């Protein structure tokens, strides 16, 4: 049965050390607030284990006492998945102390890393070993590997390397019973039954606590070419994508779409960030090629492909970076979008995906329906168009106050999500469901899909202690 916080804290302190158990409101507050400051909970306590054995002992204690667990890494969730509820009965298990890189194998091209390792630290360790870990996110300086795994993180290089699910070979997971599943295998072929690791990737901590992983590494690129390209429409952006893929093959690493509204907002709000083109066009693409051969002429290849695209009328204008500093300047247009939107004001945000070929159709349909419901509405659409993932954000018309528009968030969500579903898409591409979309997903998944997920949840977590109130 549940125990009082003092007794629980004492027992947790015996496992992880008293200094790694936080109980006061001032201490636990930062761990009970999500990154967007949208969800505010109240933690029973925060415990910070430093080893897998400690995680196992903590979870076993929670299983015995019926204490709910909220696994947490860098606390950068965008949908409230790592935030406890307001009941004050849920224990936050923060894994940030577990940040070791246990092994790095340059022959097998794998790295074994603990869940609390910050993504940027892993990227740096791989680079030092002349390897690449390709996951790249705006939050890479603070997000942690366990959270990346639990949300099946994507980012700007999915086009070439895939989501986090594609980068994982093995996992170590503490189950809701406290038992440890050691699946840390660095195998690319292992056809010995169900591939259990995929149950936990993208599960947002509802089935167990990921404590470590074996991840894929790749040869370190020696040459890169970055360009900012103007196009007339999303359809032309897809024509450009096809053209560059045909000309440059799998050297194409990133292909990001940014509307005129996006470029205008980021250049207005972020000092020093500017477009290299003579004016803002209807749509823009930020693309990058990379090659393991330093003398491979990757920039010349890109310049040739873009010259052909302009000649054919697929592209309107283009600027190719001639130095690393210029490339960073181009990427600043994309990487500062989130902060620029914060400064612009509140918006209804969406993380959706549709088949790549249907992106233009979706953008047009969703915008038309929003305009009918909210004349003068502003759509701020950008994202990883190379893999079909759009961050489709909606700001209210100038004639409507922010409060009035945000009060109709459910109506905006319904328009965008229904349009996504009609175009064969998903209402969550890379951010997860968490609390934000837990009820919304019932409209778009079949009853059978939901029941199958519930059966898996009941099988692994029969007492429902793992991140309750999230996903399901």
Q: What is residue 313's three-state secondary structure?
A: coil
Q: What is the pLDDT of residue 236?
A: 97
Among 53, 240, 215, CA closest to 125:
215
- 185 and 171 belong to one structural domain: yes
Q: What is the pLDDT of residue 293?
A: 85
Q: Would the pLDDT of 295 be above 70?
A: no
Q: Would the pLDDT of 77 be above 70?
A: yes
Mean pLDDT (whole number) for 322-329: 95
- What's the CATH number where 388 sits? 3.30.70.2740
| 74 within domain boundaries | no
Q: What is the pLDDT of residue 38?
A: 81
**Is residue 183 a contact partner of residue 161, using CB atoms and an 8 Å limit?**
no
**Is residue 332 a contact partner of residue 389, using CB atoms and an 8 Å limit?**
no
- 170 and 209 belong to one structural domain: yes
- What is the value of pTM for the model shown? 0.92
Span 34-65, pLDDT tens digits? 877 788 899 999 999 999 999 999 999 999 99
- What's the CATH number where 169 sits? 3.30.465.10
Q: How many domains does the chain have?
A: 3
Element (H, E) at 450: helix 447-460
- 155 and 108 belong to one structural domain: yes
Residue that terminates a domain, selected from 304, 330, 356: 330
- CB atoms < 10 A from the CB of 378, how many? 17
- What's the CATH number where 255 sits? 3.30.70.2190
- 215 and 235 belong to one structural domain: no
- 155 and 115 belong to one structural domain: yes
Q: How would residue 1 be classed by pLDDT, with cut points 50, 70 and 90? A: very low
Mean pLDDT (whole number) for 282-310: 93
**Is residue 84 a contact partner of residue 41, using CB atoms and an 8 Å limit?**
yes
- 241 and 196 belong to one structural domain: no
- 105 and 213 belong to one structural domain: yes
Q: Would the pLDDT of 367 be above 70?
A: yes
**To the nearest whole number, what is the mean pLDDT of the chain?**
94
Please tell me what DSSP assigns to residue 136.
B
Cβ contacts of 438 within 8 Å, gap of 6 or more: 469, 470, 471, 472
Q: What is the pLDDT of residue 64?
A: 95
Please tell me what DSSP assigns to residue 262.
H
Determine the Cα–Cα distance for residues 405 and 347; give it in Å rounded to an integer: 9
- 215 and 230 belong to one structural domain: no
The DSSP string of 334-358 is HHTHHHHHHHH---B--EEE--GGG
Span 389-426, pLDDT tens digits? 999 999 999 999 999 999 999 999 999 999 999 999 99
Element (H, E) at 256: strand 252-259
**Three-state SS across 1-57?**
CCCCHHHHHHHHHHHHCHHHEECCHHHHHHHHECCCCCCECCEEEEECCCCHHHHHH
Residue that terminates a domain, selected from 191, 219, 247: 219
Strand 252-259 with 378-384, pairing: antiparallel
- Which domain covers residue 383, as residue numbers? 345-430
Among 122, 124, 126, CA closest to 146:
122
**Is residue 382 a contact partner of residue 262, using CB atoms and an 8 Å limit?**
yes
| 50 within domain boundaries | no
Burial (CB count within 10 angstroms: exposed 0-12, middle 13-18, buried 19+), residue 430:
buried
Q: What is the pLDDT of residue 266?
A: 96
Q: How would residue 304 be classed by pLDDT, with cut points 50, 70 and 90? A: very high
Length, in residues, of the chain: 472
Q: What is the pLDDT of residue 230?
A: 98
Query: What token pair was written down for 83?
Result: 């935030």
| 145 within domain boundaries | yes
Residue that terminates a domain, selected from 192, 219, 246: 219
Query: What token pair was written down for 272?
Result: 């020093």
**Is residue 48 a contact partner of residue 97, using CB atoms and an 8 Å limit?**
yes
* C-alpha distances in Å from residue 166, one per residue of 130, 135, 198: 21, 10, 10
Span 343-362, pLDDT tens digits? 999 999 999 999 999 999 99
Lowest mean pLDDT among 18-27, 35-44, 297-306, 421-430: 35-44
Q: What is the pLDDT of residue 296?
A: 65
- 125 and 212 belong to one structural domain: yes
Q: What is the pLDDT of residue 139?
A: 84
Query: What token pair was written down for 326?
Result: 């210029």
Query: What token pair was written down for 93?
Result: 């298990």
Q: Would the pLDDT of 2 be above 60?
A: no
Q: Would the pLDDT of 24 be above 80?
A: yes
- 273 and 308 belong to one structural domain: yes
Share of the chain above pLDDT 70, in %: 99
Buried b or exposed e, range 219-237, using 16+ CB within 10 angstroms? eebebbbbbbbbbeebbbb
Collect contacts of 265-271 with beta carbons under 8 A, ≥24 apart.
265/337, 265/340, 265/341, 265/344, 265/380, 266/333, 266/336, 266/337, 266/340, 267/333, 268/340, 269/339, 269/340, 269/343, 269/344, 270/332, 270/336, 270/339, 270/340, 270/343
């Amino acid at each position: 049965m549940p125990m009082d916080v003092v007794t629980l804290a004492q027992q947790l302190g015996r496992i992880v050390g008293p200094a790694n158990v936080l109980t006061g409101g001032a201490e636990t507050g930062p761990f009970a607030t999500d990154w967007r400051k949208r969800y505010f909970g109240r933690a029973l306590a925060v415990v910070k284990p430093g080893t897998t054995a400690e995680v196992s002992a903590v979870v076993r204690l929670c299983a015995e006492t019926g204490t709910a667990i909220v696994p947490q890494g860098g606390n950068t969730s965008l949908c409230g998945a790592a935030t406890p509820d307001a009941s004050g009965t849920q224990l936050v298990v923060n894994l940030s102390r577990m940040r070791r890189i246990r092994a790095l194998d340059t022959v097998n091209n794998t790295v074994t890393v603990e869940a609390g390792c910050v993504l940027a630290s892993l990227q740096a360790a791989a680079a030092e070993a002349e390897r690449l870990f390709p996951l790249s996110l705006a939050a890479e300086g603070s997000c942690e590997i366990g959270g990346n795994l639990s949300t099946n993180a994507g980012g700007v290089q999915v086009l070439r390397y895939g989501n986090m699910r594609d980068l994982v070979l093995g996992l170590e997971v503490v189950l809701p019973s406290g038992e440890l599943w050691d699946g840390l295998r660095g195998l690319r072929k292992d056809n010995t039954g169900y591939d259990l690791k995929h149950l936990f990737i993208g599960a947002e901590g509802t089935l167990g606590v990921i404590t470590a992983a074996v991840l894929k590494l790749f040869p370190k690129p020696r040459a890169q070419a970055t360009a900012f390209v103007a196009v007339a429409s999303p359809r032309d952006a897809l024509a450009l994508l096809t053209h560059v893929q045909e000309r440059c093959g799998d050297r194409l690493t990133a292909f990001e779409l940014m509307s005129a509204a996006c470029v205008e907002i980021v250049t207005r709000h972020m000092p020093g960030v500017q477009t290299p083109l003579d004016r803002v066009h209807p749509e823009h693409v930020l693309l990058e090629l990379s090659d393991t051969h330093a003398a491979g002429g990757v920039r010349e290849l890109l310049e040739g492909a873009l010259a052909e695209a302009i000649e054919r009328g697929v592209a309107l204008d283009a600027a190719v970076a001639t130095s690393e500093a210029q490339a960073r300047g181009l990427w600043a247009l994309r990487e500062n979008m989130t902060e620029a939107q914060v400064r612009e004001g509140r918006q209804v945000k969406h993380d959706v995906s549709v088949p790549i070929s249907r992106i233009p159709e979706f953008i047009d349909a969703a915008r038309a329906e929003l305009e009918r419901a909210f004349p003068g509405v502003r759509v701020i659409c950008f994202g990883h168009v190379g893999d079909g993932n759009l961050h489709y954000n909606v700001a209210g018309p100038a004639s409507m106050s922010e409060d009035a528009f945000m009060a109709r968030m459910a109506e905006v969500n319904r328009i965008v999500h229904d349009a996504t579903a009609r175009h064969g898409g998903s209402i969550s591409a890379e951010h997860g469901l968490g609390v934000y979309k837990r009820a919304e997903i019932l409209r778009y998944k079949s009853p059978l899909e939901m029941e199958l997920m519930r059966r898996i949840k009941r099988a692994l977590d029969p007492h429902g202690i793992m991140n309750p109130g999230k996903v399901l």
